Amino acid sequence: MAQSGKLKFDRFAVGDRGKSIFLLLFGLLLILFGLTLDTLPGIYRGLIKIIIEPDYLITDYMEVGGMGASFMNSGLLTLAFTAILIRMKIRLRGISFATIFIIAGFAFFGKNIFNVWFPVAGVWLFSLYRNEPFLQYVYIAFFGTALAPLVSQIMFGFNFPPSMRIVFGAFIGVGAGFILPPLASAFMGVHRGFNLYNTGFASGMVGTLAVSLFRSHGFIDASRVIWSRGNNLLLAPPCIFCFASFIAAGWWLNGKSFKGYGAIWKHPGRLVADFVDIMDFPPTLINMGINGLIALGYILLIGGDLNGPTLGGIFTISGFSALGKTPRNITPIILGVVLASLTKNWGITDPPIQLAALFGTTLAPIAGAFGWQYGVLAGYIHSSVVLNVGFLHGGFNLYNNGFAGGIVAALLVPLIEIFREGRRK
């Protein structure tokens, strides 16, 4: 009987119910931590400020609405999107963790409890138009919240009559979501799975189209950087505890071992590398914790800032550690950005460069598939590209590094392949 009970507990721990509980607890802990940072009235006022702020890149919600409201916003979105997956009875896989964690991360700088629903509604309408189940497009809808700032900018940043702004913002947000599914599918072939933020590439194209129309009518504000500092001592300990807990929980659920983690480490990570499907949840959870600590350690080591944007990058790395990222393939990308700081006219702690090192790990499959030296090269090139493509979409594609990563992968991968082929002859 004891053995039977143990097996039942093990199945619960790594099954969909256990994964759901993990994600729900993660969202709940974000909310509880937010409640320790501010009062409920203060959090409410902060959330209102976050909602009405035009939040194109880079807009740190910790600076806009306060830390309590930022963690509350992240926690509520984590719970809401996890609840959608549970309600639709979707089997939780690596892509599920990647989407939930990227939403939780970007809820600190661009996605809020109001603006995300318009792109999601657009994808849902596309599924109705195609007479296909929304289940088929749910992850594109989740990733498509990258375009949420379009809604906020039009509704709260343009000098139109309020009724016109609300209608126009809703129309653009829903419309952007509606055209995203076919584009996301088509653009996968451009980078061939070597850019993990594929929807970021497609969203960059949609954002470029929208911003081109806005800019030609004089409606786009100048770029900006809203960036908080001085949070490291407050945020580092809970982040360390969080990721260390992932490792400990994964180790315990894995029979108090790291069995299977070595296979994840060796995987190249090219899309679709769903580690939960390949190796099960416990080794994946270990990978999520280790990569989270690597990303956190990098920011602290360079004297960077723990704030909304960088926390978003750290959470995204952890989430995508269930869908392609490993210590072996992300560190060369980060090293490439570091080396670039020695030869280019910016510093390693400049806000966009801190984000380039974190989100630039979208190119991790290049290092995984071709070797660490090509990963360093990809990171080096990416650090330049990402600083220039943001102008195209005006910061309204939150996955700017995914857009830049798609360009870098599309150009670099064929060159790597042809030169490697030539060298073998």
**Which residues on neighbouring strands pair with residue 355, listed in sequence order?**
none
Spell out, as residue ranges, where the chain has pLDDT lower than 50.
1-13
pLDDT (tens digit, 9 = 90+) per residue, 251-299?
Answer: 999 999 999 999 999 999 998 899 999 999 999 999 999 999 999 999 9
Coil vs helix vs strand at 94: helix
DSSP label at residue 194: -
Token pair, residue 266, equals 């060796």
CA 161 to the chain's CA centroid: 34
Tens-place pLDDT, residues 356-414: 999 999 999 999 999 999 999 999 999 999 999 887 777 888 899 999 999 999 999 99
Q: Is residue 199 within 8 Å of residue 180, measured between CB atoms? A: yes
Residue 190: what pLDDT? 86
Ramachandran bin of 397, using left for φ above 0, alpha for ψ from -120 to 50, beta for the remaining angles: beta
Q: What is the pLDDT of residue 159?
A: 82
What pLDDT is recorded for position 395?
A: 80
Is the bond preceding 211 in cis, omega lying within 30 degrees of 0? no
Separation between Cα atoms, residue 137 and residue 125, nearest integer Å: 11
**Residue-wise pLDDT tens digits, 409-421:** 999 999 999 988 7
Q: How far, in Å, are 96, 134, 261, 392 from residue 321 at the CA level? A: 11, 26, 12, 29
Contact 90, 124 (CB under 8 A): no
pTM for this one? 0.94
Q: In which element (H, E) is residue 174 found?
A: helix 162-191
Q: What is the DSSP letter of 150?
A: H
Q: In the numeric block, which tokens belong to residue 223?
A: 């770029």
Four-residue CA torsion sign, 95, 121, 74, 72: negative
At 221 the pLDDT is 64
Q: What is the pLDDT of residue 10?
A: 43
Cα separation, 332 vs 401, whole angstroms = 16
Residue 183 CA to residue 180 CA, distance in Å, equals: 5
pLDDT at residue 393, rounded to an integer = 79
What the block records as the tokens of 245 is: 């807990």
**Angstrom distance (rounded) from CA 302 to CA 365:** 24
- CA–CA dist 324, 100 (Å, integer): 15
DSSP letter assigned to residue 147: G
What is the rounded end-to-end Cα distance, in angstroms, of the chain?
Answer: 63
Q: DSSP secondary structure string, 334-360?
A: HHHHHHHHHHSSS-TTSHHHHHHHHHG
